[in-house]
Structure 1
């Protein structure tokens, strides 16, 4: 399966919608379980259940048994799991998990934009090692089989330039690795732009991104606010390149979600899904999740990617296939440092970013 891609996230910012919710009684355990079984029969009802949990909250204790049932009936859906966990935290401490007012939410977005763009300007040149596990499945099954493992050295310059050098594939060292603008030469799915570029483009003032505050959450013990966003195609200009017998390119819009730290106004996670994909284009769906955390480069702290999950669904010979790249970012160092292959680079475990925070 030779499908792609440079997913160049071009997101921009600024209008905001505040989710108004009518007060209703919290969901009982019986109501929740009934809706959960409905989701098992019809996965399209998942969003309806998530919205009900966010709007009404829950009136029951979230036990390990209910967690297990949720995992089983929802096919381990991360969005439902996170929403349910936050509802349980809100039940235990309503004041701590209370959503801000519309005015406060706008102020948080403004501070996040300022903090993000300032951080972009102060980002140093650096190198980092990517451990990439690539897999594939029939679309919709989530039954991925391993394809290969890559170790890639990435050089980032403050100008935004990214250079990629393949160090090994399936544990076999490259004899004379060369720096290139991507690692698409190995075939299959590739991605670029996971560093500051993504967040910078989300919060650029001229972007016209629509934001909506939808929930609160906890990411690696940090209290966060969750905003949905959407960018139309003519503003987003996200590029997806489908490679194969011939290359094909599409410009798409995007929608997704950002998790913003309530205390320091930095983005801890971003999810994006391509929208307005042209009819007839081989790639029918593209999504990416990036987790950010604090790393040290030359004795200074920077918020940079630590984990990314890239998924593409493509049509090939009347079949729909999904590819998945799980990318771990290891050993951030100052620019010019040598990136080395270590013993722990041999195995790259497969998992979705931060299943357990």
Structure 2
């Protein structure tokens, strides 16, 4: 009770001084109210109706706030505020921006005009409401936590194409290829290199990478599952609708702080010089809204200590349907790794090919085989989502079996004054 009284006293003095806001302050206020959950939708809406904005409020900002949990009365109040600010100049930046969301073109674009022979830009799909978002996330979590158990025992070939950019100018040159046999048996991954730069060689991934480049493991379930384990305390938020391989995907962002992270980066400049850290990371998850099937995960290391040799690390992992012994499964398709150490950048493009059942079908002798051609770009390029994009289970593809630190996707501010409420009697 004492805390509530202090909060109300503070509000009385601040509400008069902060009746005028810019769009950034408005968005921060609504986000903090959604996080604190101390006031009703009706109370928040009543407070918004008393505000005066110094900038234009756009439809995109309202849609983003609705996707993050704003309720109907709040949304209606925002729409009325949008109409009252239509003649004002917009803010100089997208206040609800996330790295994977398209910029708000209403800030700079002129009104659309019809031109003979051109096609109007597709209308973006509104985000799902907060209840629907929770339902989708629950399906995604269930899928991720059971993914490894639903995989059969199998083998496949890992094709690793390695590149370096010595001067961080985005001019990559090839430093060769590595082929490895990957065995997945009873939930465990095993990698055995059998070809390096076209020459037969039995070695480990770690030794094969000593000539440069990066390596990764955990693509067959552990990386996916660790995001959703309760101990990771991941923070999730809606990001956008996307299209992968012709299918509509719901895309969520996430963040896991370093205290709960299983994401490690190892740097080695020689056999006796190896350094490893566990770092916070964020990313994106692309999934089917109906089954929770995950088709892409993006990992971005954040808050890497400056003393560590690696300053940037990103991985994009794609999953797609493959056939093993005549049955369809969702398995890793490609992994793309990007790392920066000093002035040097490295890029590894890893493809998973030739899946076979572990056991009788895996008695294959591997040699210095030719590297297969790369997968076409259409397999991994994301396209904008439109109303005409089919949902995953409508595209002819069988459905699969069904926080510590601040989230860097947006900065949660200290809460502005909430709407006035009567103290409890």
TM-score over 0.5 for the pair: yes
- Indicate yes or no: 2:381 matched with 1:355: yes
Output the aligned Cα RMSD. 3.7
Q: How far off its partner does 1:133 sit?
A: 0.7
- Indicate yes or no: 2:371 matched with 1:345: yes
2:409 maps to what in 1? Answer: none
Task: Give the conservation status (yes or no) of the 8 Å contact 2:196–2:208.
Answer: no
TM-score when normalising by structure 2: 0.60
> 2:251 pairs with 226, 239, 244, which one?
226
> 1:325 pairs with 337, 343, 348, which one?
348
Offset from partner CA, 1:93-116 (integer Å, 9 cap, x none) = x5xx23210011001000111122
- Indicate yes or no: 2:296 matched with 1:269: yes
**Aligned in 2, Cα 1:348/1:220: closer, same or farther, shift over 3 Å?**
closer
- Indicate yes or no: 2:140 matched with 1:112: yes
Q: Equivalents in 1 of 2:238, 2:162: separation in Å?
A: 33
Higher strand share: 1
- Indicate yes or no: 2:157 matched with 1:129: yes
Q: How far off its partner does 1:206 sit?
A: 3.2
Task: Give the conservation status (yes or no) of the 8 Å contact 2:199–2:368.
Answer: no
Q: Equivalents in 1 of 2:266, 2:174: separation in Å?
A: 22
Q: Equivalents in 2 of 1:355, 1:145: separation in Å?
A: 22
2:284 maps to what in 1? Answer: 257
Report the secondary structure of 1:133's partner residue.
strand
**Aligned in 2, Cα 1:152/1:55: closer, same or farther, shift over 3 Å?**
farther
> 2:180 pairs with 127, 152, 156, which one?
152
**Aligned in 2, Cα 1:205/1:356: closer, same or farther, shift over 3 Å?**
closer
Give the count of matched residue pairs: 290
Q: How far off its partner does 1:221 sit?
A: 1.4
Q: How far off its partner does 1:59 sit?
A: 6.5
1:81 maps to what in 2? Answer: none
Q: How far off its partner does 1:238 sit?
A: 1.4
Offset from partner CA, 1:322-341 (integer Å, 9 cap, x none) = 10000111011111312645
Report the secondary structure of 2:147's partner residue.
helix
Q: Equivalents in 1 of 2:100, 2:306: separation in Å?
A: 27
Q: Equivalents in 1 of 2:279, 2:104: separation in Å?
A: 30
Q: How far off its partner does 1:262 sit?
A: 2.0
2:191 maps to what in 1? Answer: 164
Report the secondary structure of 2:333's partner residue.
strand
* Structure 1, unpaired ranges of 5+: 1-14, 26-34, 39-44, 67-86
**Aligned in 2, Cα 1:294/1:339: closer, same or farther, shift over 3 Å?**
farther
Report the secondary structure of 2:345's partner residue.
strand
**Aligned in 2, Cα 1:147/1:347: closer, same or farther, shift over 3 Å?**
farther
Q: How does 1:32-47 map to 2 (within 5 A)?
A: 47=99
> 2:230 pairs with 195, 200, 205, which one?
205
Report the secondary structure of 2:139's partner residue.
helix
- Indicate yes or no: 2:217 matched with 1:192: yes
Larger radius of gyration: 2
Task: Give the conservation status (yes or no) of the 8 Å contact 1:150–1:166.
Answer: yes
TM-score when normalising by structure 1: 0.71
Task: Give the conservation status (yes or no) of the 8 Å contact 1:310–1:325.
Answer: yes
1:101 maps to what in 2? Answer: 129
1:298 maps to what in 2? Answer: 325
1:248 maps to what in 2? Answer: 275
Higher relative contact order (CA 8 A, sep 6+): 1
Q: Compare 205-214 and 223-232 and name the one that shifted more.
A: 205-214
Q: Equivalents in 1 of 2:337, 2:173: separation in Å?
A: 15
- Indicate yes or no: 2:108 matched with 1:52: no
**Aligned in 2, Cα 1:351/1:242: closer, same or farther, shift over 3 Å?**
farther
Q: Equivalents in 2 of 1:355, 1:48: separation in Å?
A: 13
Q: Equivalents in 1 of 2:161, 2:111: separation in Å?
A: 41
Q: How far off its partner does 1:290 sit?
A: 0.7
Report the secondary structure of 2:230's partner residue.
coil
